[in-house]
Amino acid sequence: MNSQKIDVIEKMHIDGQWVAARSGRSRTIIDPFDQSEIATVPEGDREDAELAIAAARRAFDEGPWPRLPGPARGEKLHELGRLIAENREELARLESLDTGKTVEESRWDMDGIADIFKYFAGLADKDGGEILQPPFENATSLLVREPVGVCGQISPWNYPLLQASWKMAPALAAGCAIVIKPSEITPLTTLKVTELAERVGFPPGVINTVLGPGHSVGASLAESHDVDLISFTGGIETGKKIIQAASGNVKKIALELGGKNPNIIFDDADFEVAVDYALNGVFFHAGQICSAGARLMVQDAIHDRFVSALLARMKKIRLGGGFDEKTQMGPLISAEHLAKVERYAAIALNEGARLLLGGKRPSDPALQKGFFFEPTLFVDCGNHMRIVNEEVFGPIISVERFATEEEAVRRANGTVYGLSAGFWTRDPDRIHRVSRALRFGTVWVNDFNIYFAQAPWGGYRQSGMGRELGRMGLDEYTEVKHIYQNHDARPMNWFGV
Ligand code: NAD
């Protein structure tokens, strides 16, 4: 046990009440560091989801929240952001307990989350609509944005509260009512923020946090005809199911799916900085990041030197519990996920990739109860390999060698994923060419894995649809209404009347 005494909430929140699952079932939440039990939470099912949806429906159709002026909604969101900042340490510790990531990483998450609530609080009163010029005399046209309605929101386990906040904050700023379903294995921080929101005083039914598995609670949200928008972050295969389930009432769909993100190192890059970011780009949260730069592409002239430098640094990465200040990389989230990462290491070997480091669980006796996997480096990789094309979501780097800029771009684009890409060069003309040629939702130039509230995030190709964060992240939660008024209506006599 990480020996942390942290209060956890063991209820879910429906229509302003803290409740158990209607079935009485529960689920044990474990610490991935040593599998010790950290909480017992309700295991909801379709019935609980339907109660939460009905509460959100009432709150949206009849309650004050969507009708509140933007500045008043903004005030509440700002207060929630302030409370998150005030409770930063407790939230960070809770997140680390639940996910295994280092507390330092969780603190960064919490800072980002507080910023997200404050950013969308600031946007809540900025939309003044638009006046159009109709091609007729004595007429006016207004464009107004209105909240889309009841939103189902499904979040994953890797950044539980960060991903939830990307959905909750803009939906609330727009005036929607929400039903959020965190991953069944990492619900604790979302519950805590629901409690903070209760303190702020959102009307009952505006924020419902319902717990349970994807195939029942998540599927109910995606299928329900009372839900107007479904926002999902998770894997591609689940995303495809969501699209099908959502078609029943043609609800709006926002999807943030996986990534296989190339990090391209040209031979004129700042070598030391690029090595540093190649590590940071992958080994945060043991590689369980949708934007991990797990696909490293290095130009011929510096390839061998770069791999040697990377290897030397990777050997020093210190594995351990998230609460140990010396730990640089924690465990994977679950036994099931560890088995998946192990399978990919075996696949890479079978495909002919050359293993330079790791590829297995660590032998340290202190880590045996946790879901640890060693930092792993494969070289001699190519586009034809699964290790290059599929999302592993673990601490594995596959290195590809390339000769020319054209080859690097062509190969980088040759994947079903299009979430993010980064490249390193000092050549200004190349920066312009390559940043436009890479077909990804985010392109980082001389950096990697940077997110902030102001910049939209989302994927090309099968990495998703729609955008979170930024102005566009708010627009996702609105409908556009055109109001046309004729100030001088006269008989048309069109039908000879
Ligand atoms: P997952 O798809 O297994 O589950 C995500 C969520 O969907 C969970 O809450 C789960 O309970 C729910 N779910 C599962 N089946 C469902 C169904 N049939 N209907 C409705 N909901 C269902 O993904 P995961 O393993 O929790 O998360 C890892 C994945 O998330 C990775 O692929 C990663 O790339 C992706 N991700 C993407 C981003 C992004 O911004 N693009 C961010 C974080 C994670």
For residues 311 and 239, membership in a common domain is answered with no
Least Cα distance to 175 among 202, 142, 199, 211 occurs for: 202
Question: What does the block give as tokens for 168?
Answer: 């909750």
What are the backbone angles phi and psi of residue 172, rounded to the nearest 5°?
-70, -40
> For the purposes of burial, counting CB atoms within 10 Å of the CB of 479, is it exposed (0-12), middle (13-18) or buried (19 or more)?
middle
Residue type, 140: T
> Quick check: CB of 153 below 6 Å from ligand 1?
no
For residues 295 and 243, membership in a common domain is answered with no
Cα 238 to ligand 1 centre (Å): 7
Residue % of the chain over a pLDDT of 70: 99
**6 located within any domain:** no
Cα 329 to ligand 1 centre (Å): 22
CA distance 168 to 188: 16
**1 located within any domain:** no
Cα 50 to ligand 1 centre (Å): 21
Contact assessment for residue 410 and residue 436, using Cβ atoms and an 8 Å cutoff: no
For residues 231 and 104, membership in a common domain is answered with yes
Return the ∠ at Cα 12 (arms to 10 and 14), rounded to 5°: 155
Give pLDDT, residue 168. 98
Cα 344 to ligand 1 centre (Å): 19
Residues whose CB falls within 8 Å of the CB of residue 96, separated by 6 or more in sequence, listed in order? 2, 102, 103, 105, 106, 322, 323, 330
The pLDDT of residue 327 is above 60: yes
The pLDDT of residue 318 is above 60: yes
For residues 170 and 272, membership in a common domain is answered with no
C-alpha dihedral (88, 325, 391, 35), degrees to nearest 10: -90
> For the purposes of burial, counting CB atoms within 10 Å of the CB of 323, is it exposed (0-12), middle (13-18) or buried (19 or more)?
middle
Give pLDDT, residue 493. 81
Per-residue DSSP letter, 457: B
Q: Which residue in the block uniquely carries the two structure tokens 């609105």?
A: 478
Residue % of the chain over a pLDDT of 90: 97
Give pLDDT, residue 494. 78
pLDDT tens across 197-238, in order? Answer: 999 999 999 999 999 999 999 999 999 999 999 999 999 999
Return the ∠ at Cα 235 (arms to 342 and 221), rounded to 5°: 140
**487 located within any domain:** no
The pLDDT of residue 57 is above 80: yes
> Quick check: CB of 190 below 6 Å from ligand 1?
no
> Quick check: CB of 371 below 6 Å from ligand 1?
no
> Quick check: CB of 204 below 6 Å from ligand 1?
no
Per-residue DSSP letter, 214: I
For residues 82 and 136, membership in a common domain is answered with yes
CA distance 222 to 253: 9
Question: What does the block give as tokens for 278?
Answer: 């190649």
**227 located within any domain:** yes
Q: Which residue in the block uniquely carries the two structure tokens 């990465």?
A: 317
> Quick check: CB of 219 below 6 Å from ligand 1?
yes
Crossing angle for the helix pair 300-315 and 271-283, nearest 10 degrees?
A: 50
**223 located within any domain:** yes
> Quick check: CB of 87 below 6 Å from ligand 1?
no
Cα 182 to ligand 1 centre (Å): 10
For the chain, how many structural domains are there in total?
2
**286 located within any domain:** yes
Crossing angle for the helix pair 88-99 and 160-174, nearest 10 degrees?
A: 130
For residues 37 and 144, membership in a common domain is answered with yes
The pLDDT of residue 409 is above 90: yes
For residues 252 and 318, membership in a common domain is answered with no
Contact assessment for residue 358 and residue 373, using Cβ atoms and an 8 Å cutoff: yes
Cα 157 to ligand 1 centre (Å): 7
For residues 171 and 286, membership in a common domain is answered with no
For residues 274 and 249, membership in a common domain is answered with no
CA distance 402 to 147: 48
Tell which one of 238, 253, 417 to mutate to probe ligand 1, the residue whose CB is within 8 A of the most ligand atoms: 238
**CA dihedral sign of residues 432, 112, 412, 265:** positive
CA distance 79 to 117: 9
Domain that holds residue 302: 262-445
For residues 98 and 54, membership in a common domain is answered with yes
**185 located within any domain:** yes
**328 located within any domain:** yes
Question: What does the block give as tokens for 66?
Answer: 């969507």
The pLDDT of residue 1 is above 80: no
CA 338, distance to chain mean position in Å, is 20
CA 428, distance to chain mean position in Å, is 31
For residues 129 and 196, membership in a common domain is answered with yes
Q: How confident is the model at residue 310 (pLDDT cuts 50, 70, 90)?
A: very high
Tell which one of 154, 155, 232 to mutate to probe ligand 1, the residue whose CB is within 8 A of the most ligand atoms: 154
The pLDDT of residue 491 is above 80: yes
Q: Which residues lie across from 410 on neighbouring strands?
A: none
Cα 233 to ligand 1 centre (Å): 5
The pLDDT of residue 43 is above 60: yes
For residues 175 and 52, membership in a common domain is answered with yes
Least Cα distance to 397 among 314, 304, 312, 462 occurs for: 314
Give pLDDT, residue 147. 98
Give pLDDT, residue 241. 98
> Quick check: CB of 222 below 6 Å from ligand 1?
yes
Please list the active-site residues: 256, 290
Give pLDDT, residue 3. 52
Question: What does the block give as tokens for 419?
Answer: 């979430």
CA distance 296 to 226: 44
Per-residue DSSP letter, 490: -
The CATH number that applies at residue 210 is 3.40.605.10
Q: Residue 126: left (phi > 0), alpha (psi -120 to 50), or beta?
A: alpha
> Quick check: CB of 290 below 6 Å from ligand 1?
yes
Residues whose CB falls within 8 Å of the CB of residue 310, separated by 6 or more in sequence, listed in order? 275, 278, 279, 296, 377, 397, 399
> Quick check: CB of 382 below 6 Å from ligand 1?
no
Q: How confident is the model at residue 495 (pLDDT cuts 50, 70, 90)?
A: confident
Strands 130-132 and 139-147: antiparallel
DSSP string across 435-449: HHHS-SSEEEES--S
Atom of ligand 1 nearest to the CA of 212: 11
The mean predicted confidence, pLDDT, of the chain is 97
Give pLDDT, residue 291. 97
pLDDT tens across 167-185, in order? Answer: 999 999 999 999 999 999 9
Nearest CA to ligand 1 atom 19: 219
Tell which one of 183, 242, 393 to mutate to probe ligand 1, the residue whose CB is within 8 A of the most ligand atoms: 183
End-to-end C-alpha distance for the chain, whole angstroms? 84
